[in-house]
Amino acid sequence: MTRNKKNLVRAVGLLSLFGSAPILAQENIQPVGQEPEEREVQPDVQAMAEYGGVLTPKGRLVLEPEFQYSHESINRMTFEGVEILSTLLIGVFTAQDVDRDNYIASLTGRLGFTDRLELEMKVPYVYRDESNRVTVSEVDPDFTLDRELSNDALGDIELAAHYQLNRGLDGMPYFIGNLRYKSTTGEGPFDIRRNSAGTPLELSTGTGFHSIEPSITMLLPSAPAVYFANLGYVFHLEDDVNQRVTQDDDDLFIGDVDPGDAVRLSFGMAYSINPRTSFTLGYKNDFIGKTKTEYVNNTSGTTTRVDSNTLNVGSLLLGWSYQINPDVSINLGLELGITEDAPDTTLTLRMPIGMDVF
């Protein structure tokens, strides 16, 4: 294997850290330029997988243990009242401090079914912890309301298929079509325990709604780098929750809930430092629409439809990869939230292990 070929293999290997970033199977070499010794790899793209996807050759199985930690901190000061002067406020000040930590251990299996088709399954186990402290200074400067919530359980199992759409000849980029389904095996927001006032006693470990996500990925190899971009749309399926809750002394019945769909965009570059080590720099953004919830007040008999706010979740992507041997590598990814709705930090450690099964 030439040095250029090894460098490109490592560069595309690091792309497995992120949603739009596959690993490519390298087979064919074609010359570029005038001199035959200056060769650039034309990767034989088999398939593409989202969130740590590995593009596996036909008959090869990749098992990928993964651990992910994310942290989010919210500090908010609100005022309800009347402003008489810029220095004189009459009303109530409320200070809220929320810390959220998520720990996810998962196992992903990917199988190269044909030269262009890859199948994938991901099984996560989720532990969530949240600390919420609220201070109302006008009631009592020393009064604080603390609430600690946590939960651990199976998360939402995911199934996916990835198909290479073209051959990428004559310097053209590669296009890979992806289709992902997320189940409801985790405990959703309406599955968790609540007290008589309707306040949650634990945290959810899943979304509680089925989703289908088609997407397309573009890859442009340019040794020793690979440029990537991904565009997808997440359809969250509407469901009739059919659940009774209590809120502010009102007896409410939750009917249809339509979670907001999402548009996903990511792009970046993976660069090979040497045949074993490479790094990634990229950006991703999720634009999440409004969630529509139908409430029926059993006391008054009125029906109300409530829309949530839209969300803009943007993160900077940084990654590092090291190839231990031809079958095993280590991938470390870091996401830094740069929009208000994004988690502050997300750290992901993966270890893909490949083997031939047929």
What is the rounded CA–CA span in Å between residue 216 and residue 224?
Answer: 23
Residue 74 · residue 97 · CB < 8 Å: yes
Position 168 scores a pLDDT of 77
Strand 174-182 with 250-258, pairing: unpaired
Asked whether residue 25 is domain-assigned, the answer is yes
Q: CA dist 330 to 276, 322, 333, Å?
A: 10, 5, 10
Q: pLDDT tens for residues 92-139?
A: 556 678 899 999 999 999 999 998 899 999 999 999 999 987 776 555
Asked whether residue 272 is domain-assigned, the answer is no
Q: Across the strands, what pairs with 279?
A: 271, 320
What is the rounded CA–CA span in Å between residue 325 and residue 276?
Answer: 9
pTM of the model: 0.82
Q: pLDDT tens for residues 194-221?
A: 887 677 889 999 999 999 999 999 988 8
Report the domain count for the chain: 1
Asked whether residue 274 is domain-assigned, the answer is no
Residue matched to tokens 């990925």: 217
Asked whether residue 82 is domain-assigned, the answer is yes
Domain limits for position 125: 3-237+319-356
Position 139 scores a pLDDT of 52
Asked whether residue 14 is domain-assigned, the answer is yes
Position 141 scores a pLDDT of 56
Burial bucket for residue 140 (CB in 10 Å: 0-12, 13-18, 19+): exposed
At residue 220, what is the residue type? L
**Spatial CA neighbour of 225 closest among 34, 12, 1, 70:** 12
Asked whether residue 165 is domain-assigned, the answer is yes
Asked whether residue 111 is domain-assigned, the answer is yes
Weakly modelled stretches of the chain, pLDDT under 50: 5, 7-11, 14, 17, 19-32, 34-54, 86-87, 89
Asked whether residue 286 is domain-assigned, the answer is no
What is the rounded CA–CA span in Å between residue 339 and residue 310?
Answer: 13
The DSSP code for 299 is T
